[in-house]
Structure 1
Amino acid sequence: MQRNLFLLLALTPAFGGYLLFTLYPNMLSVYYSLLNWNGISEPEFVGLSNFVTLFQDKYVWRALLNNLFYMATVPIAVISISLLLGYLLANKGYKGTSFFKVLFFFPNVLSTIVIALLWTFIYDGSFGLLNDFLRLLGVPIGNFYWLGEARTALAAIVPPYVWGGVGLYVIIFMNAMTTIPKSLYESAILEGARHMTILFRITIPLIMPIVRISALFLILGTLKGFEKQLILTNGGPAGATDVVGLYIFNLAFGTENHNYGYASAVGMLLFVILVTAKLLMDKYMPDRSVEY
């Protein structure tokens, strides 16, 4: 009885918070998706009309394509750079490894808004660091606004994602690599294996469960995240960087007419996409550990 009472008291706050702040709002969104409601006037039940409009809305699918672009670029870049840096710091014996760990992790201490504002200054056409650096290399870039051109704005948001995410995964991968027996590396070196061979044949297979979880977090994060796009471009220019999460935010809380019902319907689409992505990853990236 005492054990059960302790478990009940320990789990109730966390479970109550989950019910109140996660499960209940999600279930309420299902109800809102069936309404025509701006948050103030009397809600009007419209059934599946919002979903019919959704499938005819070209802006939703444009935003989804942008999400897929970030999903295909950001996780690969973050994991690749983090694995390489983590391997070098964990196995090359550099002096000042602790300093580099702090240096790489520093962006994770900053808020998303601060990171986005920093990159706004970097991309600025008049006094941005990127244009100044290109001028030093002799590139006649002029006053080019990277976030103001549709042909560059979409790709320009990838570096802020990568810069803000690499540090955390460097630490995660380094901690995972420290659990690998040194004897495996010593045997591989005696056999004449190079560092890249060791990385891809020993290190990555042994920490693959950690890599898989990291890829899962990054993919789901890029699918539902929109904070950097909101600060950097607000979906512009002309919707070139709009993503589904930002489209939902502007529908519900933008300066124009609020439409909580339709925003909730688009949110249901995003929920289905996130669940589908999770199921596909479970199928094609099985959680298999490797032993030598």
Structure 2
Amino acid sequence: MVTKGASPSGNSQLTAPSKSGIKGLERQKWLFVLLAIGPSYVGYLLFTLYPNIMSVYYSFLKWDGLSKPKFIWFDNFITMFQDYFFWRALYHNLLLMITIPPLIIIISLVLSYLLINKSFREAPMYKIIFFFPNVLSIVVITLLWVYIYDGSNGLLNGLLKIFGYDNNSYYWLSNPKTSIWLLVPPTIWGAMGFYIVIFINAMKGIPKTMYEAAILDGASHLTRLISITMPLISPIIKISFLFLFLGTFKGFEMILIMTNGGPAGSTEVIGLYMFTQAFSISGRNYGYASAIGLFIFVLLVLGKVLIDKFIPNTDVEY
């Protein structure tokens, strides 16, 4: 505590706090920090770090979750690299990765630019419409698109009939050659609104004088978007691309509900294959599923390194 004391000359002065008072304040500070972030760290250790460490251990086991585990060293990894279905699922992931993230980024950038620079009177309404899918759950979005693709009463076939094309109640998700590409529209529709909001807020920080100067030079909207907007918000674009890369590679919930990997495994991705190996009714193999999960982790880390290498951080000043 800080107290007033009398000096030899009779004037009052402030004395330094005692050591016990300083220690009491330090204890209170650390107690506050412990109570504030302690539960989060405990949750992280119990539900994230510990399961990940145990999955590395499980990847060296032959174990169905019930019987006694058997240590088999690297047999799961050898089986994985010789598994045709594993590589087929990984190939489907690559198809989606080279399609979905770029399309979401491009569409979100264009729509955000138009909403910021075209001054539409209906811009607030458009923002709500674009962001609306993010309010819905994955299950709702997936069931909605299952209805759209339905052969008997689907909205897509109904629209085609309106324009004079009758495809005899064609069920869109039944063709193994095209079913993987039918996953792209619902994924883009469900994720696009989130990145539109991010890009709009990033573009609001760009000075309007830069656009005015470009307009005086005769630059088109496309030129302004590529030469001014994208370089100035490039860090935001990089982070968004990284999130989409991770989400596309790990995600399988929509595929599980919409096609369950079918028809004939044409939409099975690596996350769904791992899930099937761990929890299928026919046979559970937690060890093999853990080996696949460890491989996914290595690929995600490698992808992050490659993104940092080929899309460096560029700070553009204005």
TM-score w.r.t. the length of structure 1 is 0.97
1:111-130 equivalent positions in 2, closer than 5 A: 111-130=137-156
Q: Distance in 2 between matches of 1:230 and 1:22?
A: 23
Name 1:144's counterpart in structure 2: 170
1:71, distance to aligned residue in structure 2 (A): 0.5
1:287 maps onto 2:304 in alignment: no
Amino acid at match of 1:135: K
1:275 aligns with: 301
Paired position in structure 2 for 1:172: 198
Per the alignment, residue 10 of structure 1 pairs with 36
Deviation at 1:144, TM superposition (A): 1.4
CA distance in 1, matches of 2:128, 2:274: 36
Mean Cα deviation higher: 56-65 or 281-290: 281-290
Which stretch of the first structure deviates more once superposed, 75-84 or 127-136? 127-136
Distance 1:148 1:32 in 2: 36
What is the Cα deviation at residue 11 of structure 1? 2.2
> SS of the counterpart of 1:153?
coil
- The amino acid that maps onto 1:43 is P
Residues of 2 paired with 1:289 and 1:162: CA distance?
A: 29
Amino acid at match of 2:117: N
Structure 2: which 5+ residue stretches go unaligned? Answer: 1-25
Please give the alpha-carbon distance, in whole angstroms, between the structure 2 residues aligned to 1:74 and 1:23.
Answer: 30
- The answer (yes or no) to whether the contact 2:157–2:166 under 8 Å persists in 1 is no
Q: Tell me, in whole angstroms, the C-alpha distance in 2 between the residues paired with 1:166 and 1:267.
A: 28
Q: Structure 1: how far apart are the matches of 2:317 and 2:162? A: 50
* Structure-2 separation of matches of 1:255 and 1:116: 24
Structure 1 unaligned spans of 5+: none
Give the deviation of 1:22 after TM superposition: 0.9
Report deviation, 1:138.
Answer: 2.6
Moved over 2 A (4+): 2-11, 135-140
The Cα of 1:255 is off from its aligned counterpart by 2.0
Task: Tell me the secondary structure at the aligned position of residue 87 of structure 1.
Answer: helix
1:28 partner amino acid: M
Aligned-residue identity in percent? 56
For the pair 1:58 / 2:122, whether they are aligned, the reply is no
CA shift, 1:29, in A, is 0.3
In the alignment, which residue of structure 1 is the partner of 2:5?
none
The whole-number CA distance in structure 2 between the counterparts of 1:142 and 1:104 is 32
The size of the alignment, in residue pairs, is 292
Looking at both structures, which has the greater relative contact order when contacts are Cα pairs under 8 Å and sequence separation is at least 6?
1
* TM-score, length of structure 2 as denominator length: 0.90
In terms of fraction of residues, the more helix-rich structure is 1
Shift of residue 7, structure 1, vs aligned partner: 2.9
Alignment match of 1:85 (pick from 103, 111, 127): 111
